[in-house]
């Protein structure tokens, strides 16, 4: 089946093949959302599984996200506005002072692949940027925390969000935190150990 072939080509990081199969699916008139969800997103799920099993590494994830985004750019224009409405909209970024963005990049790609609009605020993001996102109506905010000073910074961001009464769901992850620290020290709503967990939590928070 063509959609399975797209997923498999992406899972095997075959860039030209993924692109040409996506073109073929479009030419054959397949439903664009099926191409995305059953083809490209399914492929990204396989990539994520291989990363979890240590069969793929960060460079492979970067390559997969590039292939995914290029194929998505072909399909996205075909989707009607209603159909393309994301499950939820939010931002993700490394807290101020933190710059190791490999994990954050993977989470961002996997969220996008699963129907979330996750704007990437980048590295060493100032507290104000997160507050701006919240005041702009973000459904969720993702904080990536890689150092002990980053934990302090995240705590400040959460306190500021709470003080201002914003209701965006807050998910955290990164090398410097675990579930206990996320809840007890930072005060986050959720903690994800990896991209797969982040997607699961977000799907629980924002079912279709």
Partner 1 sequence: MAKMSSLERVATAIQLKEPDRVPVIPVLMIRALREIGVKATQQVLKDPDIMAQAKIAAFKKYGGDALVAGTGLNVEAEALGCTMEYQEEEIPIVQDRILEQNPSLDRLGEIDIHKGRVKAVAKEVEILNGEYGSNAVVGVCISGPFTTSMELRGLSGAVADMENNPGYFKSLMEKSTREIIRYVDILIDHGALALDMLEPLCSCDVISPDMYRKWALPYQNTVMEHIKSKGRVPIIHVCTYTQPIWNTLIESGALAFHGDIQPSLKKCNEDIGKKICLIGNVHPIDVLLYGSAEDVRQTSEECIKSAGPGGGFVLAAGCDTGFDVPDENFHAMVETAQRTNYPLN
Q: How far is the CB of 79 from partner 1 (least distance, A)?
A: 27
| Burial class of residue 116 in the structure, from the number of CB atoms within 10 Å of its CB (0-12 exposed, 13-18 middle, 19+ buried) | buried
Q: Does 167 bind partner 1 (CB under 8 A)?
A: no
Strands (E), the chain: 89-95, 117-125, 140-144, 169-173, 190-191
Alpha-carbon dihedral of residues 179, 185, 187, 191, nearest 10 degrees? Answer: -20
Q: How far is the CB of 58 from partner 1 (least distance, A)?
A: 5
| Spatial separation of the C-alpha atoms in residues 35 and 62, rounded to whole Å | 21
Q: Does 159 bind partner 1 (CB under 8 A)?
A: no
Stretch that binds partner 1, among 29-37, 127-135, 136-144, 147-155 (CB under 8 A): 147-155
Three-class DSSP labels, 6-25: HHHHHHCCCHHHHHHHHHHH
Q: Does 147 bind partner 1 (CB under 8 A)?
A: yes
Q: Does 196 bind partner 1 (CB under 8 A)?
A: no
Residues 24-43 that bind partner 1 (CB under 8 A): none
N-terminal to C-terminal alpha carbon distance within the chain: 26
Q: How far is the CB of 173 from partner 1 (least distance, A)?
A: 14
- Which one of residues 59, 135, 159, 167 is an interface residue with partner 1 (CB under 8 A)? 59
| Spatial separation of the C-alpha atoms in residues 97 and 181, rounded to whole Å | 18
CB nearer partner 1, residue 24 or residue 99: 99
| Spatial separation of the C-alpha atoms in residues 159 and 157, rounded to whole Å | 5
Residues 70-109 that bind partner 1 (CB under 8 A): 97-100, 102
- Which one of residues 78, 126, 149, 160 is an interface residue with partner 1 (CB under 8 A)? 149
- How many Cβ atoms are within 10 Å of 3's Cβ, its own excluded? 21
Q: How far is the CB of 167 from partner 1 (least distance, A)?
A: 29
Stretch that binds partner 1, among 32-40, 42-50, 112-120, 175-183 (CB under 8 A): 175-183
> Which residues of the shown chain bind partner 1 in the complex (CB under 8 A)?
54, 57-60, 62-63, 97-100, 102, 123-124, 147-149, 152, 175-176, 178, 181
């Amino acid at each position: 089946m063509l959609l399975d072939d797209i997923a498999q080509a992406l899972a095997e990081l075959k860039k030209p093949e993924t692109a040409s199969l996506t073109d073929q699916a479009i030419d054959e008139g397949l439903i664009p959302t099926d191409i995305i969800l059953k083809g490209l997103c399914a492929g990204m799920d396989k990539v994520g599984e291989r990363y979890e099993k240590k069969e793929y590494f960060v460079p492979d994830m970067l390559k997969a996200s590039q292939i995914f985004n290029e194929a998505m750019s072909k399909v996205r224009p075909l989707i009607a506005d209603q159909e393309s409405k994301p499950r939820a909209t939010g931002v993700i970024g490394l807290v101020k002072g933190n710059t190791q963005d490999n994990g954050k990049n993977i989470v961002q790609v996997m969220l996008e692949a699963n129907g979330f609009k996750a704007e990437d605020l980048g590295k060493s993001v100032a507290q104000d940027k997160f507050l701006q996102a919240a005041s702009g109506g973000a459904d969720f905010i993702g904080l990536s925390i890689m150092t002990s000073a980053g934990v302090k910074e995240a705590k400040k961001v959460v306190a500021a969000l709470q003080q201002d009464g914003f209701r965006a769901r807050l998910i955290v992850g990164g090398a410097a935190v675990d579930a206990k620290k996320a809840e007890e020290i930072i005060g986050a709503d959720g903690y994800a150990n990896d991209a797969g967990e982040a997607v699961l939590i977000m799907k629980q928070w924002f079912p279709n």
